[in-house]
Each structure stands twice: as C-alpha cells, then as structure tokens.
C-alpha cells in the first residue's frame, strides 16, 4: 500500500447517513475478526490461504496491553509491526481492537504489573455481604475487573493506548489501520454496579452536571427506556442517582455506564491526540429475561446510548456484537439509537452471508465481521465469499444510496419516505406471506428459499420445505433503486415481485432482466445473460436462486 496523505475518516451526509472514507473514497468493511489469540504471525501464517479466498477487505485483530507493555513504560511493538506487514502483503486493511482494561468484562489483558499491584490499581467489588456470624463485611469481594472509579487505572490505560497510536502515526503512513476499537465488551457482572469505596461515594453524590445538561438538552429525543425511567422518577434535573432516576438496578446500570463511558472517553481522547482515527467501542448484548448484573451490564447497549454519547463524546459510535438469531432486531436497535451500523463480531455460520447483505443493504453499514474468521470453512466460507463479492461490486452504489436516499430525478418529498436502498432478510424462519418493503416509489415483495430448489423447478419458489439431509442456505438480498422503474437486485435465495403503492394503480411488469457484474474502478456493468424466460417465471418475478450469489439489473414497465 502506498503512503496516504489522507487519514481514514467518518463523514455525515446531508441526509444524516455516515460513511467511512479511506484514501478519500467510500469504503465498506467486508471484515472478519480473528480469534482473540490468533493474530500473531507464527500462528496466523497457515491461515492466509483461507483468508485470501473470502473476498475480505479488512481484518479485525486484537492488540494486547500486556504484550505491548510488559514492563511499565517499556513497549514492545513486535506483534503490532508484524500485523501491519502481513496485512499489507495480503492487500488488507486493519481494524485494531484495543484489549486494554477490559475484555468481555474482565481485566484479563492488563499487564502483570497492573494485576499484581491491586492497591495502586483497585479492582471493582461486589456489595458488602453478611458473614456467617451475621456481621456485615465492610467491603465486598474483589473482582477480576478494574474499577473505573480510580484515576490510576484510567491513566495507565490511556498512556499505553496513546503510545500505541503514536507508534501507528510513525510506522503506518499507508494507514493500513483504518479504525480502532477502544476496549472490548465492557460490562459489570455479577452485579449492576461497582461497590468500591470510591464507587459508593460517587453513587451518593449528585448526578454529574454534564450528564444532566445533555439529557435536558436532548429531552425530546432520548431513548424511550431512559425517558420513561427519568419521567417515572419525577423528571428532576438535579439530585442523586436514586433521586433523579429511582432506586433500582436499572439506575445502578446507568450510574455504572456513566463511569465506564467517562473512563473510555479519557482513553479515546488520549489516543486521538496522537492519531485521529475513527474509534468506537462494542457491546455484548442482553439475553432475553435477564436483569442488570445478570448480563455484562452498563456497556454501550442501545438503551444506554444516551449515557455513552454524553460520557464519551470522543467515540465516533458504539457497536453491537450480534450472536443472537434475531439479527435484524439488534441491528435496527443500534441504528434507531442514533448510530451508524458496524457489526465487529457475528456468528460465522452460513447466515453470516445473509446478515452481511442485510447490514449493508438495509442500513448502509460501515462494515460487518464474523468472529473467528480464520476458522470459517465449508458452506459458511463459500457463502460469505459470495456475499462479500456482491458487496464489493455494489460499493459505489451503496455509497451513493447512503449519500442520497432518493434516486436522481425523484422528488425530495418522495425520498423522505421511500429509501432508494434496502436489505431483505427473512423476518421469521417460517416466513410465508411476502415480505413487503417500499423502495423508490414501488413496493417490493420478497419470499425466501433456504434450500436448493427441486430439479427442473427453475423460476418456481420452493415450497416443499427443507430437503432431507440438506443444509439450510442463506437467503438475503440488497435492492437499490437506481432510476425511475429501474432496480439492482443482488443476493441469493430471494424472489421479488413489484407492486404499485397506489391502490388501483398500474400493474408493474418486468420489461427486462439481465444478470451481470460490475467490473473495474468505474464499476462498469458487464452483461452476462438475459433472464426473461424461465428465470423470471415468464415475467412474473425476479428470482435469485438459492446457493448462488448473483446481481440482476431490472427494468420495469406499467400497464393496465
């Protein structure tokens, strides 16, 4: 990679969409996150052929605090420098994951000099417990979690992170590293908040004025859960945490989230002072039915987005690690909470391919990355490579759709209600009724096929259920309206029909459908074949057959 004069950056379009620019051009992270212990040269060498086959643009890989600063103030950059060299050799960019104070709630990656000096670097504690004799203990149990309430912890982390970013400034003029994650899946467990003496003192103090000012200024558009909690407690603009938000585990989580966010703000600001790359932090999500303290609480979750936004303004966004089957629900929640979508961790099953297409199509995501990418194999690997090939070809169109949600020539009033791009993903496993989404000035109705079609059933939706012994295939598509009655439909396992949005309006027919590819730097359309016969069911629908990724350019017409 040649030296770059332009830092990677995030820009917001006039319509409020966020794009990542690398070397001044829109960039989509077709990513894969390496396993936590897989990012060192000697181990990773054997996996490069597999990684090279996946159509990745970017690797997400951890940098360990304990490895780079084994002795306080003395840094060893071997692992970082080798990552940079190897990524460049394979034509990949990097998102670095800072495993500093916290990784999956725990402080397992802090250096030994931090771990051993627990008086200087205090751990979080549980609430005081009653002893067997019935006498209350003065302090609860120490946890393997650094407390965010002690400046020494924050300062040591911030110094190390700043040193990392200063090193990148010197050794990475190519900007191989395009973005950085600060900490990893921060969360408090097994209780909703820290109970160290410093935390107890903060709990009984007034809610910080900076937070109250932010919430008051944004009262009309803060998250529904936070607004309801605040209103239920009387909507006060001053008082202790319990007085302003009510005395509950939910309030304890708000309190802890503010402490975590302030800590991350200090670390992030220190890093950006050395190299101002886009930065984010990620969250482990909530299992159904769990309460604060039963999951990694107080992390950058959707219901806490306002707390994190106020407490860590140097972060560019917060991100979800989505391992649950209701992928769309969680992705939608992060966008609704005011973030661009970036999924740094996801399951590497065959559904990763479908979830990637949904992320880029529905939300114009910055990126998507299955976890443990070096271990992906079989159909999951084949499907992901196919999906990423589609995304690579469509990148200019996706970027344009993000910049202007309406196709050229459409009215501003229409664009406000009808996005020019969407992603299709089965709403349920047994979806039968067409999945209807408005794109441009038409309704697109999708049905899904997740198994190979029966022999000689080209153009016919497979209603026979899963074939015996066959693996389910991904089913998802990106649909982009590129002009009046003209669409790009791309993906696999999806059949689309077109409907007029006006009751009693013209019937929508297929004028032509052609399969092809976008090639070259100018994304020139390369025709492969016409599809106006069996493949469109004699003009009834557009079908992306299961198990194969394709792009179709569709022109429509209207008749009565």
Residues 377 and 439 in one domain: no
DSSP symbols for 366-435: SEE--BSGGG--HHHHHHHHHHHHHHHHHHHHHHHHHH-SS-TTS-HHHHHHS-SEEEE--SSTT--S-E
Q: Above 70 in pLDDT, residue 249?
A: yes
For residue 190, whether the previous peptide bond is cis, meaning omega lies within 30 degrees of 0, is yes
Residues 335 and 356 in one domain: yes
Q: Above 90 in pLDDT, residue 148?
A: yes
Residues 91 and 16 in one domain: yes
Report the distance separating Cα 183 and Cα 262, nearest Å. 13
Residues 264 and 354 in one domain: yes
Characterize the bridge pairing of strands 142-146 and 123-125: antiparallel
Contacts of residue 117, defined as CB under 8 A and 6 or more positions apart, other chains included, come to none
Q: Which two tokens stand for residue 343?
A: 């999924």
Angle, helices 351-363 vs 327-336, to 10°: value is 30
pLDDT for res 1? 77
Nearest to 1 by CA among 21, 31, 17, 22: 22
Residues 270 and 127 in one domain: yes
CATH number at residue 509: 2.60.220.20
pLDDT for res 135? 45
What value does the mean pLDDT of the chain take? 91
Residues 33 and 143 in one domain: yes
Residues 451 and 547 in one domain: yes
Q: Would you say residue 73 lies in a domain?
A: yes
Angle, helices 378-403 vs 351-363, to 10°: value is 0
pLDDT for res 393? 97
Report the distance separating Cα 399 and Cα 115, nearest Å. 45
44 sits in which H/E element: helix 41-44
Q: Would you say residue 426 lies in a domain?
A: yes
530 sits in which H/E element: strand 524-530
pTM of the model: 0.92
Q: What is the pLDDT of residues 287-330, one digit of tens each?
A: 989 999 999 999 999 999 999 999 999 999 999 999 999 999 99
- pLDDT bracket for residue 467 (50, 70, 90): low
pLDDT for res 462? 54
Across 286-390, the runs of DSSP E, i.e. the strands, are 317-322, 342-343, 345-346, 367-368
Give the total number of structural domains in the chain.
2
Residues 374 and 429 in one domain: no
Percentage of the chain exceeding pLDDT 90: 81
At residue 93, the 3 state secondary structure works out as: strand
Q: Would you say residue 332 lies in a domain?
A: yes
Q: What is the pLDDT of residues 491-531, one digit of tens each?
A: 999 999 999 988 888 999 999 999 999 998 778 999 999 99
Q: Which of 372, 402, 432 is the last residue of a domain?
A: 402
Residues 192 and 323 in one domain: yes
Q: Would you say residue 4 lies in a domain?
A: no
Q: Would you say residue 151 lies in a domain?
A: yes
pLDDT for res 239? 96
Residues 300 and 264 in one domain: yes
Q: What is the largest CA-CA distance in the chain?
A: 86
Cβ neighbours, 10 Å, residue 466 = 13
Average pLDDT for residues 87-99, to the nearest whole number?
A: 98
Phi, psi torsion values for 128, nearest 5 degrees: -55, 140
pLDDT for res 508? 95
Q: Above 80 in pLDDT, residue 459?
A: no
In terms of C-beta density within 10 A (0-12 exposed, 13-18 middle, 19 or more buried), how is residue 139 classed?
A: middle
Q: What is the pLDDT of residues 100-129, one digit of tens each?
A: 999 999 999 999 999 999 999 999 999 987
CATH number at residue 269: 3.20.20.80
Nearest to 329 by CA among 306, 299, 359, 370: 359
299: DSSP letter: S
Contacts of residue 469, defined as CB under 8 A and 6 or more positions apart, other chains included, come to none
What is the number of helices (H) and of strands (E) in the chain?
A: 16, 24
At residue 339, the 3 state secondary structure works out as: coil
- pLDDT bracket for residue 132 (50, 70, 90): very low
Q: Which of 375, 402, 429 is the last residue of a domain?
A: 402
Residues 396 and 536 in one domain: no
Q: Which of 402, 425, 447 is the last residue of a domain?
A: 402
Q: Would you say residue 159 lies in a domain?
A: yes
Q: Would you say residue 249 lies in a domain?
A: yes
Q: Domain limits at 413? A: 408-559
Cβ neighbours, 10 Å, residue 67 = 18
Q: Would you say residue 3 lies in a domain?
A: no
Contacts of residue 112, defined as CB under 8 A and 6 or more positions apart, other chains included, come to 66, 70
Residues 198 and 245 in one domain: yes
pLDDT for res 504? 82
């Amino acid at each position: 990679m040649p030296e770059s004069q332009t830092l990677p950056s995030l820009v917001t379009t006039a319509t409020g969409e966020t794009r990542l620019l690398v070397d001044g051009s829109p960039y989509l992270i077709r990513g894969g996150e390496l396993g936590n212990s897989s990012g060192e040269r000697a181990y990773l060498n054997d996996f490069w052929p597999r990684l090279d086959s996946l159509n990745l643009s970017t690797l997400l890989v951890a940098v360990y605090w304990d490895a780079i600063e084994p002795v306080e103030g003395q840094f060893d950059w071997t692992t970082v420098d080798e990552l940079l060299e190897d990524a460049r050799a394979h034509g990949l960019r990097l998102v670095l994951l800072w495993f500093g104070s916290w990784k999956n709630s725990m402080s397992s990656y802090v250096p030994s000099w931090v771990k051993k000096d627990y008086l200087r670097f205090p751990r979080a504690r549980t609430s005081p417990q009653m002893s067997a004799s019935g006498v209350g203990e003065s302090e609860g149990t120490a946890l393997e979690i650094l407390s965010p309430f002690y400046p020494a912890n924050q300062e040591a982390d911030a110094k190390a992170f700043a040193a990392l970013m200063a090193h990148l400034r010197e050794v990475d003029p190519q900007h191989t590293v395009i973005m950085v994650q600060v900490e990893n899946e921060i969360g408090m467990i097994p209780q909703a908040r820290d109970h160290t003496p410093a935390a107890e003192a903060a709990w009984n103090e007034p809610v910080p004025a900076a937070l109250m000012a932010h919430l008051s200024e944004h009262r009309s558009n803060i998250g529904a859960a936070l607004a309801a909690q605040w209103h239920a407690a009387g909507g006060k603009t001053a008082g202790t945490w319990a007085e302003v938000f009510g005395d509950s585990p939910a309030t304890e989580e708000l309190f802890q989230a503010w402490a975590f966010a302030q800590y991350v703000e200090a670390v992030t600001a220190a890093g950006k002072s050395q190299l101002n790359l886009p930065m984010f932090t990620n969250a482990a999500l909530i299992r159904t039915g769990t309460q604060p303290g039963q999951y990694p609480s107080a992390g950058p979750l959707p219901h806490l987005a306002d707390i994190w936004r106020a407490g860590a303004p140097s972060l560019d966004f917060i991100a979800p690690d989505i391992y649950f089957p209701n992928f769309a629900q969680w992705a939608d929640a992060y966008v609704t909470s005011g973030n661009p979508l970036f999924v740094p961790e996801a399951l590497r099953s065959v559904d990763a391919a479908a979830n990637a297409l949904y992320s880029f199509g529905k939300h114009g995501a910055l990126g998507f990355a299955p976890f443990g990418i070096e271990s992906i194999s079989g159909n999951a690997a084949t499907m992901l490579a196919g999906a990423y090939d589609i995304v690579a070809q469509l990148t200019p169109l996706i970027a344009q759709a993000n910049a202007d949600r309406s196709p050229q020539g459409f009215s501003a009033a229409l664009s406000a209600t009808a996005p020019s791009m969407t992603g299709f993903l089965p709403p349920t496993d047994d979806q039968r009724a067409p999945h209807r989404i408005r794109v441009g000035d038409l309704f697109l109705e999708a049905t899904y096929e997740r198994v190979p079609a029966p022999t000689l059933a080209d153009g016919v939706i497979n209603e026979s259920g899963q074939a015996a012994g066959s693996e389910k295939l991904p089913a998802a598509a990106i649909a982009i309206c590129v002009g009046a009655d003209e669409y790009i439909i791309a993906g696999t396992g999806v059949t689309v029909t077109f409907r007029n949005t006006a009751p009693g309006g013209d019937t929508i027919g297929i004028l032509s459908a052609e399969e092809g590819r976008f090639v070259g730097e100018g994304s020139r359309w390369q025709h492969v074949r016409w599809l106006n016969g069996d493949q469109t069911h004699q003009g009834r629908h557009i079908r992306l057959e299961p198990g194969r990724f394709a792009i179709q350019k569709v022109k429509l017409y209207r008749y009565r």
